[in-house]
Amino acid sequence: MPGNLEPLDIGIQIPYHFRCPISLELMSDPVTVSTGQTYDRTSIESWIATGNTSCPVTRLPLSDFTLIPNHTLRRLIQEWCVANRSNGVERIPTPKQPADPISVRSLLSQASAITGTHVSVRSRAAAIRRLRGLARDSEKNRVLIAGHNAREILVRILFADVDAGVETTSSSSEVVSESLALLVMFHMTEGECESISSDPGRVGFTTRLLFDSSIENRVNAAALVEMVLTGSKSTDLKVTISGSGSVFEGVMDLLRSSVSSRRALKIGVKALFALCLVKQTRHLAISAGAPGTLIDRLAADFDRCDTERGLATVELLCRMPEGCAAFGEHALTVPLLVKTILRVSDRATEYAAGALLALCTAEERCRDEAAAAGLVTQLVLLVQSDCTERAKRKAQMLLKLLRDSWPDETVVNSDDF
């Protein structure tokens, strides 16, 4: 049965010709191959991708691998879904048609044309916007676009004014915005990342985009900062990016903003974590107010993955004395970290325990706060859990450190314990 029918268990009979011969599930995007047989697109694409060159049903060789959408069958399947809506069957959406190489090449050529020759700024921006829509539709489209040297072209477009030594005008800003939004949808190679991180002009331009009036440009600039930091292997180049206090301030403004979307917060915390991995410039995050903002966001807004990354950043900053001091001044730091243990994930528990170990080692006041917040009980449970070995080691070290802070009435002070 297809996934959307599994919980029903009411014996719905799917018409035989609506099922894919390969997966035996309801087809959502039926396509016809050269032998005349129809399959679901994902199934037949997987079949061909594994090296098969024959039709799965007829076993005849495929004269070509063109997949023709079977619109008539798809509409019949959609009508059947609508007719069975009362039984909990959801209507399959109309699939987006995959990009074709000819149109991708044409759009990239139009996007990279020199403004003022035969292509206007508006048409260049429209071409990039169209490519962005195709990239958003599917991973297959993104692979196809990237295969036409799109990343290198987009980097050139994005930094064209900087490389030419001219100011970005209001007319070209639309092209910059669209090229930036499309570029961050791809995984960049080390060489492409270092082509940005090794150029002070490009680094400075990216930093200025963090303070752009458009929140989308700011978010995409933060995404580019994270990508370039992660993709550059050279420590010196990483320091070139993270060595400016403005980069940290721009990312922190994104995290503090009341209008930040879920995507903005996710990218903001990823960028901050990538910046804090550069040990030489970690102090700039503390100067920019990262400790207070992280705790405020962890207490309210982050989902699980963002919480893990946020806690990892807290632990990194707690490795510095000024970081411990800054986190210790926030009233919610210790209670929040204690509450996180065994609540979110194994990774989150490990990071929270590491941050608490640094804080409790640095200040007696933090040890008293942690004990009062119930950390001892959490640590005892952690040591007995299936958590990571690193988390357990940190828990054992914390228990020894907190021995003098355990409340008198607790059983853990007894010799038997």
User: If DSSP codes are grouped into helix, strand and coil, which group holds residue 32?
Assistant: strand
Q: What is the per-residue pLDDT across 286-303, written as a single tens digit (0 to 9) for each?
A: 999 999 999 999 988 778
Residue range 47-86, pLDDT digits in tens: 998 889 999 999 999 988 888 999 999 999 999 999 988 8
User: Quick check: 411 pLDDT over 50?
Assistant: no
CA 211 to CA 191: how far, in whole Å? 26
Average pLDDT for 177-204 = 94
Does residue 169 have a pLDDT over 90? no
Report pLDDT for 199.
93
How confident is the model at residue 5, as a pLDDT? 45
35 has a pLDDT exceeding 80: yes
The rounded distance, in Å, linking the Cα atoms of 97 and 304 is 34
Q: How far apart are CA 209 and CA 219, in angstroms?
A: 9
**38 sits in which H/E element:** strand 38-40
Q: Beta-carbon neighbour count of residue 133 at 10 Å?
A: 13
**Cβ-contact 317, 358 below 8 angstroms:** no
Residue 69 DSSP class: E
Residue 173 binned pLDDT confidence (cut-offs 50, 70, 90): confident
Is residue 357 within 8 Å of 398, Cβ to Cβ? yes
Report d(CA 343, CA 266) in Å as an integer: 20
Q: What percent of the chain has pLDDT over 90?
A: 64
Contact 126, 166 (CB under 8 A): no
Is 220:180 a contact under the CB 8 Å cutoff? yes
Statement: residue 408 has pLDDT above 60: no
Whole-number mean pLDDT of the chain?
A: 88
The mean per-residue pLDDT over the stretch 92-118 comes to 83
